[in-house]
Amino acid sequence: MGKAEAGRGRRGRRPVSLPADRAEGFYRSALSEAERLALAEAAEMHGLDDEIAVLRVKLRTALEENPQDVKLMFKGLELLVKALAARYRLSQRAEDELSEKVEAVLRDLGGPLYPEVFGDAA
- Dump pLDDT digits (tens) for 81-97: 889 888 888 788 888 88
Q: Structure pTM?
A: 0.53
Confidence (pLDDT) at 1? 46
- Do 53 and 112 sit in the same domain of this protein? yes
- Do 90 and 60 sit in the same domain of this protein? yes
Which range marks the domain in which residue 37 is found? 10-43
Report, as an integer, the average pLDDT of 53-60: 91
- Do 62 and 25 sit in the same domain of this protein? no
In-domain check, residue 85: yes
Q: How confident is the model at residue 9 (pLDDT cuts 50, 70, 90)?
A: very low
Q: Which of 96, 103, 122 is nearest to 111 (CA)?
A: 122
- Do 110 and 61 sit in the same domain of this protein? yes
Per-residue pLDDT of 23-52, as tens digits, reads 556 777 888 889 888 887 887 888 888 889
